[in-house]
Structure 1
């Protein structure tokens, strides 16, 4: 039988599987390899991964719901009442395929720009009146 590892002790001279030989007896110039890293995904095209991520995010988006005349007049009535009595409200509005909710104090309703101006923790926010889906009271 041929001696595979001439510099190793007698018990490892004829061993064919390098995993059974202690590292100090192996040739140090043999590369170790990538180990378990080789099973990690390899991003060859970063744009492709970004686009796939965008597709999965777009699956959660919804279409803007059309409100009936009754719902629109109800929102208008709540907004008019809240402006003069208790200006703190929670507004649900449509933005970029999602329904967002925000708490704040009514600053003004701009009829020229068709927008609602709210004071929130971070500052003044404008919301288009056509994007509002619901107004609720904060208790």
Structure 2
């Protein structure tokens, strides 16, 4: 059976239209809808935002639980940093993420459970909850 009767001999029996030059193909064959067929999937931008948020939330971690010994060690390190005016690197839990900040501690409020301090680059006061602190490291000079 001859597929393309008007084409030269090498292309008469070719069944894959991609291997036949365009001038030998039937011009009445429709080209399809192209990119238009994908348009319905772009009508729900809220869905894309929701999926992106799920992917972002998937990497979050739970608040670490510290033992009594670890809490006592953190307490000692905080008080030493406060009394010696040493900057410390504080690792803390923030909305599913573990973040790190370098602080010079100016105040420890044990009643409301927070510390105040400031970074070396920014003189504004930073407040951190004592419940969110996971690790404290002394900075060596």
User: 1:41: how far off?
Assistant: 10
Query: Structure 2, unaligned stretches of length 5 or more?
Result: 1-22, 26-33
Moved over 2 A (4+): 35-43
Asked if 1 retains the 8 angstrom alpha-carbon contact of 2:81 and 2:104, the reply is no
User: Which 10-residue stretch deviates more, 111-120 or 95-104?
Assistant: 111-120
User: Any gaps of 5 or more consecutive residues in structure 1?
Assistant: 1-14, 18-34
2:65 alignment partner, SS class: coil
Give the TM-score normalised by structure 2: 0.68
What is the CA RMSD across the aligned residues, in angstroms?
A: 2.8
* Count of residue pairs the alignment pairs up: 112
> How far is the alpha carbon of 1:43 from its aligned partner?
2.5
Using structure 1 for the length normalisation, give the TM-score: 0.69
**Once structures 1 and 2 are overlaid, which stretch shifts more, 106-115 or 59-68?**
106-115
CA drift of 1:38 comes to: 8.1
Q: Residues 38 and 113 from structure 1, CA distance in 2 versus in 1: closer, same or farther, beyond 3 angstroms?
A: same
Alpha-carbon deviation of 1:112? 2.8
Deviation digits for residues 37-90 of structure 1 (CA, Å, limit 9, x no counterpart)? 988995321111111011111111111111000000000011111111133110
